[in-house]
Amino acid sequence: MKIIAEKISLYNNGYNLAKYMLKSSAMDIVSSKRNLHGAITVPGSKSHTIRALLLAALADGTSHIFNPLPSDDCLSASRAIELIGADFHSGDSVWTVSGAGSLAHLSDDVVDVGNSGSLLYFLSPIAATFSGWSVFTGDASIRKRPVSHVVDALKQLGCEAYVSRPGTDAPPLIIRGPISKRNVVTDGSLSQYVSGMMMAASRLSGTLDITLTDPKETPYLSMTRLWLEELGMKVSVSDDFKRICVRGGFGLPHFDKTIPSDWEALAFPLVASLISDSEIIINNIDDSGSQGDDAIVDVLKSVGADIERDRIRHTLTVRGGKCARSVKGEVPGRLSAEKLPRGELRVNISGFPDAICALAVAASFIEGTTIIEDVGVCRKKETDRVEVMRSELTKLGVDIEAEADCLVIHGHAPLTASGEKNDACTLHGGTVETYGDHRAAMALSCFGFGLPEGETVRVKGAECSAVSFPGFIDAMNGIGAGFVV
């Protein structure tokens, strides 16, 4: 344990240095009123890419991952799988993983997950299948992420699990395996560690029986189920997601897999186009239904968004403002909840919580009240995204309230129902913080497109967008965003 403590100290000192270096190279984005035109392709899905890396590492033979997301989080995962015996090689459009298979072993170093909560929660249950101690840490944000649910679940499975700092509920996380039991009852309001246990079951004999008392983020559990079933594992999931059984006891085969585009990243050019006089085509969208974030399309169409989905060409055409197609009796491109029950747009975000930042920006320009409900999971991400969006959008003139389990935005469209300037829409520019949250950075960067001429939004620390969307600035500038760095 002394050696483990010394390694933790060294890693934490290293992260302090990294944090200093990041501050010295911090980057701001300045955005203003722009009209977007052209085609854009968003990168591959982070959720799919990290699952692919971990399962390829546990497989026998060589797997090829096409169209991977080369983001910071995914690169952290690529380094982590080498610690358990896999070999990783990157190419321009394909990553190759030589799996460790039955020779997968205890990590031979502290596992540095960087900024990736997905990697922390996925890999820690897998590490618990090995005999011996594993140590997980990460950057300053990760060292604030809750892990009590992971600790409790692993203890139920017969492991030892601790946090290294008394009185905290965050990494460094210390685990001693192997898993010796096959039944666990856990909350499940955060889905990632449940997916981690499902993947870990591939290394266990018998059936892992998981009972969830409050399952959330259920589309991500379906994504994991589909991955495991494609690799030949037997998985059963109840209709209410409260019971998951995964049969293990056999090796995973190697695979070749193309990673679909990331709906979580797609939300930003989508919203940016709707709040400006824009027409864009988003190419290579994922129509498999494996990503719950595609629900944002129907949410926005319910308030009049002009979004056309082509499931044959796998494209999304988005028209906003004056570029939107006319609907009889409606102002083109005007977003409004006035025709919805009680004049409110109600969105239960639990199935696609990563959309909260983009949706909060869109709601600022929707006439009427938007109530984003069931936001508990959103408070446990890289930041408390409910509070971050409340505080930063308030700086830009948005009437927004954060309650215990909902975010309420009283929005206003720039035009009235008769097409005149809406004096109630008093949104303006300003300077906002990202707090190192990539999704907040991208959402706030898009806010400026809907503002009046002459108003600008300065987004501080926007370099963190690379966590999930490398090349975000260049991709957006390619369709006319005009971001100034």
Q: Which helix (H) or strand (E) holds 185?
A: strand 183-186
Cα(414)–Cα(426) distance, integer angstroms: 9
Say if CB 403 and CB 432 are below 8 A apart. Answer: no
Say if CB 33 and CB 449 are below 8 A apart. Answer: yes
* Opening angle at CA 460, ends 472 and 36, nearest 5: 40
Cα(55)–Cα(317) distance, integer angstroms: 34
Say if CB 87 and CB 62 are below 8 A apart. Answer: no
Best CA proximity match to 370, nearest among 343, 397, 388: 343
- Let me know if 72 is a catalytic residue: no
Cα(310)–Cα(319) distance, integer angstroms: 14
Cα(19)–Cα(33) distance, integer angstroms: 33
Best CA proximity match to 281, nearest among 299, 261, 298: 261
Helices and strands counted in the chain (H then E): 13, 24
- Tokens 């919580």 belong to residue: 353
Catalytic, out of 112, 354, 384, 437: 354
Phi/psi class of residue 132: alpha, beta or left (left: φ > 0; alpha: ψ in -120 to 50)? left
3-state secondary structure of 448: helix
| Residues with a known catalytic role | 354
